[in-house]
Amino acid sequence: MKYIWFYKTPIGKIGIGENDSAISCLLFDGASAPSDYQLSETPLIKSAAVQIAEYFDGKRKQFDLPLNPKGTAFQKSAWDALQAIPYGETRSYKDVAVQINSPKACRAVGLANNRNPIPIIIPCHRVIGTNGSLTGYAGGLDVKRLLLDLEIQYS
């Protein structure tokens, strides 16, 4: 079964989804639950919510949750690379492409970031343009800036 539950956070209401005993999605404020998810707060979803609250309080720098993001092999390799970016630091799309041994795949890394189903926990907000500019983010650039500022504050 697939489950989802919604919580209030400093960036608005978020939905945390579980599938096959692993976190499968995180939805930003305004997004509705996928139709194949049942509205239920499971112990795993509750644990994820606690860890996200600790993150916003500056008490958690790494998440310790089973993850099950659905994507292609390339997307999963990019998402794995995102999880290796240290808290409070950023990398460019090119940096991530080089890290996954696809140095010419900057745009593909950008598309993988765009399709990241578990933002914040898989920290796609830590990826910025080569020139240091903030680029697109599913939660909006204001949320991306807030997350980056939060991490700098608690680093």
- Tell whether the torsion through CA atoms of 25, 55, 12 and 143 is positive or negative: negative
- For residues 43 and 28, give the distance between their C-alpha atoms in angstroms, rounded to a whole number: 21
Q: How is residue 97 annotated by DSSP? A: H
Residues 23 and 44: beta-carbon distance below 8 Å: yes
Is the CB of residue 55 less than 8 Å from the CB of residue 125?
A: no
Give the tokens for residue 55.
């993150």
124 assigned to active site: yes
Catalytic: which of 45, 121, 124, 127? 124
Beta bridge partners of 2: 19
Tokens describing residue 142: 């204001």
Residues identified as active-site: 124
